[in-house]
Amino acid sequence: MHLKIVQAGDPVLRESARPLTPAELASAEIQQLIEMMRETMRDAPGVGLAAPQIGIPLQLAVIEDVAELEATERKPVPFHVIVNPRLTLGGETVEFFEGCLSVEGFQAVVARARAVEVEALDHQGAPVKIAARGWYARILQHEIDHLHGTLYIDRMRSRTFSTARNAARYAAGVPIPELLAGLEPRRTSPS
């Protein structure tokens, strides 16, 4: 069964999600929800899905990435669940395009920490520590933002906001610094 992904403007996307208790996490209801979220994420297709994106304000997200792309430090990440995560950002940032299943059809450049550490619970309630870099670090930051009512559009470079089609058409293969330089407003001198 696939769940409905809510879109920007739905108030649940702007709420701070509440933590799950160990008893809630162990419940058949939450375990079934995790499976439905996995199916929904894969069908979308996406690399992450947070519970608020399906209208449920809980600190729960599913993540899986099967792609690999050297330019974005993207490597396959097996399916896993993060519950009640705490995020620590590394100091170096990188900029790249992001999209979101809840802002369907659009993308923009977002600066994110290149490396992060996350402490969370897994789907069985066991504590996990994740050290991630590159695209995986970006996915974690994006999904954890959802748990605090933040969308990538709150962090984006607004002049890069584009339909996904136009981002692929005009920005594919263009280094981000070059792309950003070309989007700066043109200054005209007074006559």
Query: How does pLDDT run across 49-67, given as a tens digit for each residue?
Result: 999 999 999 999 999 999 9
Query: How does pLDDT run across 135-179, given as a tens digit for each residue?
Result: 999 999 999 999 999 999 999 999 999 999 999 888 888 888 888
Peptide bond into 45 cis (omega under 30): yes
Q: Give me the catalytic one of 70, 98, 143, 184.
A: 143
Distances (CA, A) of 111 to 4, 53, 141: 29, 22, 11
73 is catalytic: no
pLDDT recorded at residue 173: 85
Instruction: Give the mean pLDDT of 109-114.
Output: 97
Any alpha helices (H) in 121-185, and if so which ranges?
A: 134-146, 164-166, 176-183
Integer Cα distance of 94 and 176 in angstroms: 9
H or E element at residue 38: helix 28-43
pTM of the model: 0.93
Architecture of the domain made up of 11-181: Alpha-Beta Complex (3.90)
Instruction: Give the mean pLDDT of 110-139.
Output: 97
- Tokens representing residue 129 in the block: 């520590």
Q: Does residue 40 have a pLDDT over 80?
A: yes
Reported confidence tier of residue 70, pLDDT bands at 50, 70, 90 = confident
Instruction: Give the mean pLDDT of 26-37.
Output: 98
Reported confidence tier of residue 45, pLDDT bands at 50, 70, 90 = very high
The domain segmentation of the chain, as residue ranges, is 11-181
Instruction: Give the mean pLDDT of 14-24.
Output: 97
- Tokens representing residue 178 in the block: 């070059």
Instruction: Give the mean pLDDT of 91-109.
Output: 97
pLDDT recorded at residue 190: 66
Over pLDDT 90: what percentage of the chain? Answer: 83
- Tokens representing residue 121 in the block: 């619970």
Q: How many CB atoms lie within 10 A of CB 16?
A: 11
* Average pLDDT in the chain: 94
pLDDT recorded at residue 120: 98
Q: List, as own/partner pairs, every contact residues 94-98 make where C-beta atoms lie below 8 angstroms and the sequence separation is at least 24, other chains included.
A: 95/157, 95/176, 95/180, 96/72, 96/138, 96/176, 97/160, 97/167, 97/171, 98/138, 98/142, 98/152, 98/156
- CB neighbour list of residue 52: distance below 8 Å, 6 or more residues apart: 6, 12, 13, 15, 17, 58, 146, 147, 149
Instruction: Give the mean pLDDT of 174-190.
Output: 78
